[in-house]
Structure 1
Amino acid sequence: MSAPATGTWTSAPTSGDGTTLADRAGRRWRLLRWWLIGLVALALAIGALAVMRPAGSSGPLDPGSTRPEGSGALAAVLADQGVQVHHVTTTAEAVAAAGPGTTLLVVPASFLLPEQADALAATPGDVVLAGAGDELLRAVSEDQVGLGTWTATPPAVAVEPRCDLPAATAAGTMLLAPGLEALGPDATTCWHDGDGYAALAALTAGGRSVVAVDDTTFLRNDTVTEEGDAALALHLLGAHEDLVWFVQDPADTTSSAEEPAIGVGSLPPWAGAAGWLGVLVALVAAVWRARRVGPLVAEDLPVVVPAAESTRGRARLYRRSRSRGHAAAALRAATAEHIARRLGLARSTTPETFVDAVVRATGHDPQAVADVLYGPPPADDVALRELARRLDILESEVHRP
């Protein structure tokens, strides 16, 4: 007995299609790796946003923002004077915090809904509106103050307040844009222009003080030190120990204190930026993986099938399905292509012209040539074999020198 071979071999288990577990795992990895890489990159970007986010906020008129359009400087001075600033971003939070003995400051809220304006108007605390819309302005002032019908612009030179409000007297001359209109006798207006509009309006509505200022420059970090901006802001916002500073989140839809602010205030500040980054990554991935329109790319076939074998295979399919019409059409098309190439005819040649050319080349009867090339499909296998024989004869006669 001969000794066994010294070499060893191993075989991985295969499935019914002949592939191994390693083959299938590699194919799945090649399909999923780019999606996994994208998800990892998105997670890293979100983590970087969370780590590198500055300590202060960055929104306009935000009490935590140190940017020029923010209000961090004014909030810091108010805090030094003993005023506790409560920064809220939803209507529900503002309504809950603005109780008696508080001041509610509402900065421009472009996404405020009518029911939210009514909820803010029903708060019992004093209200200061800075750059408010006409709907909120009328709701809080009980239709005593409204916006002008034209866009307000700051005056060329500082003007006197021309009213006896303590805050206006302390501020003195200012460059506030006049855009408010007194609609009732109870509103006191200050810093007027020549057309009857004012930059500030004050009144008592619902048992509390309401002050509206159309120009928000007296709150901004870059202009709070100009003219009497600081004095006006400190007088209006420092009247009580609690100041509710409402900077509305664009996604805020709450309107009552009992309504939870799910999905808005409960999210971290960087959630919005992370969401937009996720949308951008999804769009880039969609463009990257989308079908591209361009020239065809030749690829190596996994198996090379000889032309004769393909022809026999198609013939077997035709015979099995009894598709004599398809088989006859394929034979006639191939014969017509060969004859047209031999006679120099174009692919757009009409049947009549093609038959005439074949008749001139062979001398056969035109009707017989037309029946062979364009006649009805054969009725049985015998007729199909006869058609194939006649097509072969016709082609050989055209090619005969």
Structure 2
Amino acid sequence: MSAPTTSPTGTWTSAPVTGDGTTLGSRSRRRWRAVRWVVWGMAALLLAALVLAVMRPPGSVIPYDPENSRPDGSRALAQVLGRQGVQVEHVARVADAVDAAGAGTTLLVTPAPFLLPEQVDALAAAEADVVLAGADDGLLRAVTGDQVQRTPWREAPALPVEPGCDVPAAVAAGPSELQPGLEAVGPAVTTCWADGQGASVLAALERYGRSVVAVDDAALLRNDTVLTEGNAALALHLLGAHERLVWLVPDPADSTVETSAPDPAPASVLPDWFGTVLWWAVLVALVVILWRGRRLGGLVAERLPVVVPSAESTRGRARLYRRARSRGHAAAGLRAATAQAVAQRLGLARSTHPDAVVDAVVRATGRDPREVADLIYGPPPADDAALSELARRLDTLESEVHRP
């Protein structure tokens, strides 16, 4: 409805008044207060993610990773190999490494203390030339066929030691300070940098038509020690023998063993009669839906199982208004009920203009027109006390109109 007001000339005019006394700005502010903590929380999370993304170090932080530029990484060696024409393929899953390591490639296995027995067997069966760097005793024995094993810990040589073998990579590397810790068990193994007690740094052998080279100390791969003595030459000769190098840095959480061969099509494992049964089931389901589906028709009046007293319904709605602090809606409901009651008592139609309603009430009660307009079409109350006072005054006005 519209609230009647007076113009400077004394005539009644109508001004729009909302039912709950709110405006677009007040509603926007109320909604903002309701969701601002959620918005601020999301903004804080986004800011934290942005800070973490900016502060995240470039590349990897995994030891011996070819993308890791930190001292324990191997980015320097991988970049030099790439400039020499070697295609370096970094993998973290054993299954991917076995798939990629075919004949004519080199498979590098960095220190991997968490491999499963099945994964060790899969690496031992790879067709590529294998280079083991810092392998544990289980992987070392499996790949070399029990021809090389680890020896108890020994102190590193005080001075660089000559290779003492004819392995091309060792001859190119020359004197080395790598940590010894390998022992040859079979006669087909060539050891380099061996001391008098049989400890060696490198062991090489031919097995199943491929070469297997084990280096006990993986320091030749690290960025901080790759330039020590002949480490760089040894690493480049071992890993650059083929144009393709598969660099395995095992993920401790990896438990896969099977290779990534293409899975059979789902239809190939189903029986021949499955398609016929499936279409028959679809047809039966459609028939059941058409048979038992709800058919929309005309509205049918249904008696309520429980009759709720009007006083109880009124009190419930009032409690809802009070809990929501919706004094404007409550006042609008009270005023609408009063306007309808007095209009019906005075013989006015429901579509009667507010000005006519006010004039009729003024004639019936003798009240001031401004007071009547303020009661029936005024602004919403400011607090609960004002709402109670408004209800009392509306009841008084309605009783005066109904007075004979």
Q: Is the 8 A contact 2:169 2:233 kept in 1?
A: yes
Seen in structure 2, the aligned counterparts of structure 1 residues 257 and 48 have a Cα distance that, compared at 3 Å, is farther
Structure scoring higher RCO (CA < 8 A, sep ≥ 6) equals 2
Unpaired runs of 5+ residues, structure 1, are 14-20, 261-401
1:90 aligns with 2:109: no
Q: How does 1:340-355 map to 2 (within 5 A)?
A: none
Secondary structure at the residue paired with 1:192? coil
CA distance in 2, matches of 1:101, 1:57: 28
CA distance in 1, matches of 2:81, 2:106: 12
Q: Is the 8 A contact 1:102 1:243 kept in 2?
A: yes
Q: Which string of whole-angstrom CA distances, capped at 9 and with x for unpartnered residues, describes residues 229-261 of structure 1?
A: 11111110110000111111222222232279x
Seen in structure 2, the aligned counterparts of structure 1 residues 198 and 50 have a Cα distance that, compared at 3 Å, is same
* Match of residue 249 from structure 1: 251
Given the alignment, which residue of 62, 67, 70 partners 2:70? 67
* Match of residue 271 from structure 2: none
* Match of residue 185 from structure 1: 187
1:117 aligns with 2:125: no
CA distance in 2, matches of 1:176, 1:141: 21
Q: Which amino acid aligns with 1:170?
A: A
Seen in structure 2, the aligned counterparts of structure 1 residues 193 and 39 have a Cα distance that, compared at 3 Å, is farther
1:200 aligns with 2:164: no
Unpaired runs of 5+ residues, structure 2, are 7-14, 22-26, 263-404
* Match of residue 391 from structure 1: none
Which segment is superposed worse, 94-103 or 188-197?
Answer: 188-197
Given the alignment, which residue of 54, 58, 62 partners 2:61? 58
CA distance in 2, matches of 1:74, 1:8: 79
Q: Which amino acid aligns with 2:146?
A: D
Given the alignment, which residue of 78, 91, 108 partners 1:105? 108
CA distance in 2, matches of 1:211, 1:195: 21
Given the alignment, which residue of 134, 137, 142 partners 1:134? 137
Q: Which string of whole-angstrom CA distances, capped at 9 and with x for unpartnered residues, describes residues 349-393 of structure 1?
A: xxxxxxxxxxxxxxxxxxxxxxxxxxxxxxxxxxxxxxxxxxxxx
Deviation at 1:45, TM superposition (A): 2.8
Q: Is the 8 A contact 2:66 2:74 kept in 1?
A: yes
* Match of residue 46 from structure 1: 49
Deviation at 1:38, TM superposition (A): 4.6
Seen in structure 2, the aligned counterparts of structure 1 residues 152 and 89 have a Cα distance that, compared at 3 Å, is farther
Deviation at 1:99, TM superposition (A): 0.6
Q: Is the 8 A contact 1:92 1:259 kept in 2?
A: no
Deviation at 1:174, TM superposition (A): 0.4
Normalising by structure 1, report the TM-score: 0.55
- Between the aligned residues of both structures, percent identity stands at 61
CA distance in 2, matches of 1:48, 1:252: 30
1:217 aligns with 2:219: yes
Seen in structure 2, the aligned counterparts of structure 1 residues 114 and 38 have a Cα distance that, compared at 3 Å, is farther
Q: CA RMSD for the aligned pairs? A: 3.3
Q: Which amino acid aligns with 1:115?
A: E
Q: Which amino acid aligns with 2:104?
A: G
Normalising by structure 2, report the TM-score: 0.55
Q: Is the 8 A contact 1:95 1:256 kept in 2?
A: no
CA distance in 2, matches of 1:183, 1:38: 64
CA distance in 2, matches of 1:39, 1:145: 58
CA distance in 2, matches of 1:195, 1:115: 34
Q: Which string of whole-angstrom CA distances, capped at 9 and with x for unpartnered residues, describes residues 25-62 of structure 1?
A: 899759xx36x655543343334444554443232111
Secondary structure at the residue paired with 1:181? strand
1:258 aligns with 2:255: no
Seen in structure 2, the aligned counterparts of structure 1 residues 5 and 68 have a Cα distance that, compared at 3 Å, is same
Seen in structure 2, the aligned counterparts of structure 1 residues 143 and 29 have a Cα distance that, compared at 3 Å, is same
Q: Which amino acid aligns with 2:242?
A: H
Q: Is the 8 A contact 2:154 2:180 kept in 1?
A: yes
Q: Is the 8 A contact 1:109 1:132 kept in 2?
A: yes
Given the alignment, which residue of 149, 156, 159 partners 1:157? 159
Q: How does 1:277-316 map to 2 (within 5 A)?
A: none
- Regions of 4+ moved over 6 Å: 3-11, 24-28
CA distance in 1, matches of 2:167, 2:256: 34
Question: When the two structures are aligned, how many residues end up with a matched partner?
Answer: 251
Q: Is the 8 A contact 2:163 2:175 kept in 1?
A: yes
Seen in structure 2, the aligned counterparts of structure 1 residues 43 and 153 have a Cα distance that, compared at 3 Å, is farther
CA distance in 2, matches of 1:207, 1:106: 19
Secondary structure at the residue paired with 1:248? coil
Deviation at 1:192, TM superposition (A): 1.5
Q: Which string of whole-angstrom CA distances, capped at 9 and with x for unpartnered residues, describes residues 275-313 of structure 1?
A: xxxxxxxxxxxxxxxxxxxxxxxxxxxxxxxxxxxxxxx
Seen in structure 2, the aligned counterparts of structure 1 residues 27 and 38 have a Cα distance that, compared at 3 Å, is closer
